[in-house]
């Protein structure tokens, strides 16, 4: 479980995040939603300790993240940022191999090669392993970074807008893959997502941020009501049902 308590970040007069209390369940998919600028990426970076909190605490499976050393962290969680820095002369296979660093310290053994191979297949990168990252399409590159995070073999995966650039086939496959990982390997998965249908259909839990604060949170079916979503985005949102599944309407 990730337990966030009294978390604030940014200048006292104009904090980016303020008084965040949230619980993210293990072995489940949590959708982090909210308008542009609400603080989703900042929260993810604080959990990943890429930023240091101003006040408050984050505990991950009981471990106080402020006290954890980098090696411990890298074995607990893998992170894919919203904006991917592309070191262009890195090949896909090498990139995924970097995910094995916490296990291999750079000398990949048979187990590491098997993990890389598995990630290549799982994220549909067969045939692209030898490509340089700058020779990939946006969606292929996105999947290569997610494969690297997966290869890290952690209990937690934090993905900031993983559906960016993905066509509907790959977006759906990725969500199905994440569900499979949550259900069969007990991974805790936190995704920042803007498409409410993906958030509602595939997630178990939701944390909604607005102006740097938690607007609502809880099991997705109970917490993400049409009223709350409409207020969150200041846009009329309706939830209907199609084939017995919830369907979010907001286009017109
Ligand atoms: N390096 C920075 N310095 C100052 N302010 C920042 C910095 N990075 C982000 N912010 C501000 O912090 C707030 C939250 O940004 P954040 O990137 O966390 O939003 P977000 O919810 O991820 O939005 P989006 O959906 O657009 O990705 C925004 O108002 C943003 O302008
Ligand atoms: Mg963001």
| 26-70 per-position pLDDT tens digit | 999 999 999 999 999 999 999 999 999 889 999 998 899 999 998
Give the closest ligand to the alpha carbon of residue 37.
1
188-192 and 156-160 as β-strands: parallel, antiparallel, unpaired? parallel
Residue 108 confidence (pLDDT) above 80: yes
For the residues 195-208, what does the mean pLDDT come to?
96
Cβ(156)–Cβ(188) below 8 Å: yes
Structural tokens at position 4 = 């966030």
For the residues 143-155, what does the mean pLDDT come to?
95
Residue 84 confidence (pLDDT) above 90: no
128 CA to middle of ligand 2, Å?
Answer: 28
Partnered with residue 248 across adjacent β-strands are 239
Partnered with residue 30 across adjacent β-strands are 190, 205
240 CA to middle of ligand 2, Å?
Answer: 28
Residues with CB under 5 A from ligand 2 (ion): 40-41, 82
For the residues 110-138, what does the mean pLDDT come to?
94
pLDDT, tens only, 156-179: 999 999 998 899 999 999 999 999
Q: Is 170 in the pocket of ligand 1 (CB under 6 A)?
A: no
> Which of 42, 48, 164, 207 best tests ligand 1's pocket when mutated (most atoms within 8 Å of CB)?
42
Residue 84's nearest CA partner among 168, 147, 153 is 147
Q: Is 37 in the pocket of ligand 1 (CB under 6 A)?
A: yes
Q: Is 41 in the pocket of ligand 1 (CB under 6 A)?
A: yes
Percent of the chain with pLDDT over 70: 100
160 CA to middle of ligand 2, Å?
Answer: 7
Give the closest ligand to the alpha carbon of residue 40.
1
CB count within 10 Å of CB 110 equals 7
Cβ(82)–Cβ(192) below 8 Å: yes
Cβ(136)–Cβ(128) below 8 Å: yes
Q: Return contacts of 238-246, CB within 8 angstroms, 24+ apart.
A: 239/200, 245/201, 246/200, 246/201, 246/221
Q: Return contacts of 127-133, CB within 8 angstroms, 24+ apart.
A: 128/92, 129/91, 129/92, 129/93, 130/91, 130/92, 130/93, 131/91, 131/92, 132/88, 132/89, 132/90, 132/91, 133/86, 133/87, 133/88, 133/90, 133/91, 133/92, 133/95
Interatomic CA distance for residues 106 and 117, integer angstroms: 16
- Output phi, psi for 54, to 5 deg: -75, -50
Please give the number of the atom of ligand 1 that sits closest to the Cα of 42. 18
Residue that has been written with the tokens 């980098």 in this structure: 70
Sign of torsion over alpha carbons 15, 21, 25, 28: negative
pTM of this structure: 0.94
Residue 86 confidence (pLDDT) above 80: no
């Amino acid at each position: 479980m990730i337990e966030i308590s009294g978390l604030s970040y940014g200048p006292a007069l104009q904090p980016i995040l303020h008084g965040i209390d949230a619980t993210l369940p293990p072995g489940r998919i949590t959708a982090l939603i909210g308008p542009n600028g609400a603080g989703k990426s900042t929260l993810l970076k604080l959990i990943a300790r890429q930023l240091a909190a101003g006040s408050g605490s984050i505990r991950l499976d009981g471990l106080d993240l402020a006290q954890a050393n980098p090696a411990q962290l890298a074995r607990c969680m893998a992170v894919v940022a919203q904006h991917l820095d592309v070191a262009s002369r890195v090949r896909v296979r090498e990139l995924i191999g970097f995910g094995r660093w916490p296990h291999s310290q750079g000398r990949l053994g048979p187990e590491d090669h098997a993990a890389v191979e598995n990630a290549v297949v799982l994220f549909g990168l067969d045939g692209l392993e030898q490509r340089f990252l700058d020779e990939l399409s946006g969606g292929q590159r996105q999947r290569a970074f997610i494969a690297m995070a997966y290869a890290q073999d952690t209990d937690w995966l934090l993905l900031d807008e993983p559906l960016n650039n993905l066509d509907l086939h790959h977006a759906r496959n990725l969500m199905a893959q994440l569900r499979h990982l949550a259900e069969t390997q007990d991974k805790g998965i936190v995704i920042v997502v803007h498409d409410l249908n993906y958030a509602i259909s595939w997630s178990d839990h939701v944390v909604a941020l607005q102006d740097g604060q938690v607007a609502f949170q809880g099991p997705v079916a109970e917490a993400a009501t049409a009223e709350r979503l409409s207020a969150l985005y200041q846009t009329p949102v309706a939830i209907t049902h199609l084939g017995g599944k919830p369907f979010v309407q907001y286009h017109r």
